[in-house]
A and B are shown apart, each in its own frame.
Chain A
Amino acid sequence: MTYLPKPKLAHPDLPKNALGFTRRDYEGPISTLCAGCGHDSISAAIVRACFELDLPPHRIAKLSGIGCSSKTPTYFLGNSHGFNSVHGRMPSVLTGANLANRELLYLGVSGDGDSASIGFGQFSHSMRRGVNMTYIVENNGVYGLTKGQFSATADRGAKNKRGVANLDEAIDMVSIAIQLGATYVARSFSGDKDQLVPLIKGAMQHTGAAFIDCISPCVAFNNHDGSTKSFDYVREHNEAVNFLDVITGRDEITVDYAPGTTEVVRQHNGSLLKLRKLADDYEVTDRVAAMDFLEVRKARGEIVTGLLYVDPDAEDMHGYMQTHDTPFNAMGDDELVPGAAVLAKLNASLR
Chain B
Amino acid sequence: MSPQDASQMVEAAGSTVPPLVAVNDFVVKFANVNGSGSASANQLFAKAILRMGIPVTPRNIFPSNIQGLPTWYEMRISDRGHMGAREGTDLMVAMNPQTWDEDVRSIRPGGYLFYDNTKALPASKFRPDITVVGMPLTSFTNAAYSVPRERQLFKNIIYVGALSALINIDPKVIEDLLAEQFRGRDKLIAANHKALHMGRDYALAHLPCPLGLTLVPSDKVGDRIFIDGNTAAALGAVYGGATVCAWYPITPSSSLPEAFTRYCERYRVDKETGKKRFGIVQAEDELSSIGMVIGAAWNGARAFTATSGPGISLMSEFIGLAYFAEIPAVIFDVQRSGPSTGMPTRTQQSDITICAYASHGDTKHVLLIPEDPNECFQFSAAALDLADRLQTPVFVMLDLEIGMNERLTAPLAWDDNRRMDRGKVMTAEDLQSGRAFGRYLDVDGDAITYRTYPGTHPTRGSFFTRGTSRDEFARYTEAGDAYQRNMERLLKKWDTAKTLVPPAIRTDAGAATKYGVIFYGSTSPAIPEALEIIAAQCDVVLDQLRIRAFPFGPEVEKFIDGHETVFVVEQNRDAQLRSLLINELETSPKKLVRVLHYNGAPITAEFIAAGIGAHLIPAPLREAAE
Contacts and interface: CB of A to CB of B under 8 A. Distances in A.
Contacts of B293: 96
B128 interface: no
B279 A83 contact: no
B239 interface: yes
Interface in B430-457: 452-457
B261 to A, nearest CB: 12
Interface string A188-215: 0000000000000000000000000000
A332 B478 contact: no
B437 to A, nearest CB: 12
B33 interface: no
Given A323-B279, A337-B241, A103 B455 contact: yes
A341 to B, nearest CB: 8
B459 interface: yes
A303 B455 CA distance: 38
Nearest to A332: B420
A125 B291 contact: no
Contact of A74 (B239, B287, B317, B464): B464
A121 interface: yes
B284 A351 contact: no
Interface stretch (B198-206, B268-276, B501-509): B268-276
A58 B281 contact: no
Nearest to B238: A338
Contacts of B225: 347, 350-351
Contacts of B303: 96, 99-100
A113 to B, nearest CB: 16
Contact of B476 (A2, A99, A121): A2
Interface string A333-351: 1011111101110110011
Contact of B235 (A80, A100, A346): A346
B455 A338 contact: no
A96 B291 contact: yes
Interface string B224-245: 1111000000010011010110
A146 interface: no
B295 interface: yes
B276 A321 contact: yes
B292 A99 contact: yes
B276 A322 contact: yes
B300 interface: yes
A325 to B, nearest CB: 7
B235 A61 contact: no
A122 B303 CA distance: 19
A84 to B, nearest CB: 4
Contact of A328 (B274, B296, B465): B296
A182 B419 CA distance: 40
Contact of B294 (A57, A96, A335, A351): A96
Nearest to A124: B284
B181 to A, nearest CB: 12
B397 interface: no
B145 interface: no
Interface string B393-424: 00000000000000000011111101110000
Contacts of B50: 351
A342 B455 contact: no
Nearest to B373: A350
A61 B299 contact: yes
Contacts of A57: 458, 462
A350 B413 contact: no
B284 A122 contact: yes
A85 B467 CA distance: 8
| Residue from B292, B297, B418, B456 having most chain A Cβ neighbours under 10 A | B292
B267 interface: yes
Contacts of A331: 241, 243, 277
Nearest to B246: A96
A104 B454 CA distance: 8
Interface in A50-105: 56-59, 61, 63, 73-74, 78-86, 89, 91-101, 103-104
A74 B462 CA distance: 12
Interface in A284-327: 318, 321-327
B313 to A, nearest CB: 15
A35 interface: no
Given A82-B465, A328-B244, A343-B413, A95 B292 contact: yes
B420 A96 contact: no
B277 A336 contact: yes
A70 to B, nearest CB: 10
B475 interface: yes
B454 A80 contact: yes
Given A58-B462, A100-B296, A333 B301 contact: no
Contacts of A82: 462-465
Nearest to B301: A100
A157 to B, nearest CB: 32
Contacts of A86: 291, 317-318, 321
Nearest to A129: B281
A228 B413 CA distance: 65
B479 A2 contact: yes
A164 interface: no
Contact of A73 (B284, B289, B297, B464): B464
A58 B457 contact: yes
Contact of A323 (B51, B275, B418): B275
B80 interface: no
A80 B454 CA distance: 7
B454 A61 contact: yes
A217 to B, nearest CB: 25
B478 A1 contact: yes
Nearest to A339: B416
Contact of A96 (B277, B297, B479): B297
B288 A340 contact: no
A151 B135 CA distance: 69
A98 B279 CA distance: 10
Contacts of A326: 277
Contacts of B268: 336
A186 B103 CA distance: 65
B424 to A, nearest CB: 15
A124 B284 CA distance: 10
Contacts of A318: 279
A254 interface: no
A83 B411 contact: no
Given A2-B477, A328-B243, A333-B420, A340 B226 contact: no
Contacts of A100: 243-244, 295-301, 303
B292 A58 contact: no
Given A1-B476, A2-B476, A347 B464 contact: no
30 contacts: A2-B477, A79-B459, A80-B462, A85-B294, A85-B295, A86-B318, A92-B288, A92-B291, A96-B291, A99-B279, A99-B303, A104-B455, A121-B284, A122-B288, A321-B279, A324-B275, A326-B277, A328-B243, A328-B277, A328-B296, A329-B299, A333-B418, A335-B277, A337-B239, A338-B239, A340-B413, A340-B414, A342-B267, A343-B413, A351-B225
Given A329-B300, A337-B238, 19 more contacts: A58-B456, A81-B455, A89-B318, A92-B283, A92-B289, A92-B295, A93-B294, A96-B295, A96-B303, A97-B295, A99-B296, A122-B287, A321-B276, A325-B275, A331-B243, A338-B239, A340-B415, A346-B412, A351-B225
Pairs of residues from A and B, 8 with the lowest C-beta to C-beta distance, nearest first: A92-B291, A96-B295, A329-B300, A100-B301, A96-B292, A81-B454, A93-B295, A100-B299
